[in-house]
Amino acid sequence: MNRRRNGPAQRRQSQRFAALVALVIASLLTACAEEPLPQRRINRSDCLRTIDMQHLTEALRRCDAVVAAFPKDPGPLNDRFLLHTLADKDDAACQDIRKAASLARPLPAGKMDRQLRQDLALRLADCPATPGGLTSPQATGAPKPGTLDGAAAPGKGAARH
């Protein structure tokens, strides 16, 4: 009879013990879970870090992330222009270079790398004003090579007195 009285109480105690053991095991398993490795921060130069012609799609995806991380920087767009060109995606390349040029236009000359400014001007001159349009910079009203806004570069094309 004594066993019968202790039966439900013993079962509850056994259930509590089993629940406690399960809780301890679950805690140990989560405590031992491997933390993911910290991700390397996206860098402005990651677009052209490694280019494998067999994996251009992967390089473009990586570059898309760089452009998204630095939306007001014309440099990553300039880099993605190269990747689009290599992938024979001229319309996308020109779209990137137009956007890069528009971001660069308001920047003071000393604020942006001279080489980047020249790259943008030359590449912009090779792109039609609108997709599928004429490619001649003069016919499309695009800036002349060497400038982003069509103004003569200092010392070049200025009227002489």
Banded pLDDT at 14 (limits 50, 70, 90): confident
Comparing CA positions, the residue from 17, 21, 16, 72 lying closest to residue 44 is 72
Comparing CA positions, the residue from 78, 118, 116, 69 lying closest to residue 98 is 78
Banded pLDDT at 140 (limits 50, 70, 90): very low
* Residue pLDDT, tens place only, 105-119: 999 888 889 999 999
* Residue pLDDT, tens place only, 41-93: 888 889 998 888 999 999 999 999 999 999 999 999 999 999 999 999 999 99
Distance CA 97, CA 89 (A): 12
Host H or E run for residue 87: none
Q: Which amino acid is present at 93? A: A
- C-alpha distances in Å from residue 52, one per residue of 60, 61, 94, 109: 11, 13, 22, 34
| CATH number 1.25.40 given to 44-140 | yes
Distance CA 99, CA 101 (A): 5
Global pTM reads 0.59
Banded pLDDT at 136 (limits 50, 70, 90): very low
Q: How many CA atoms lie within 13 A of 51 on its CB side?
A: 15
- The full set of domain ranges for the chain reads 44-140
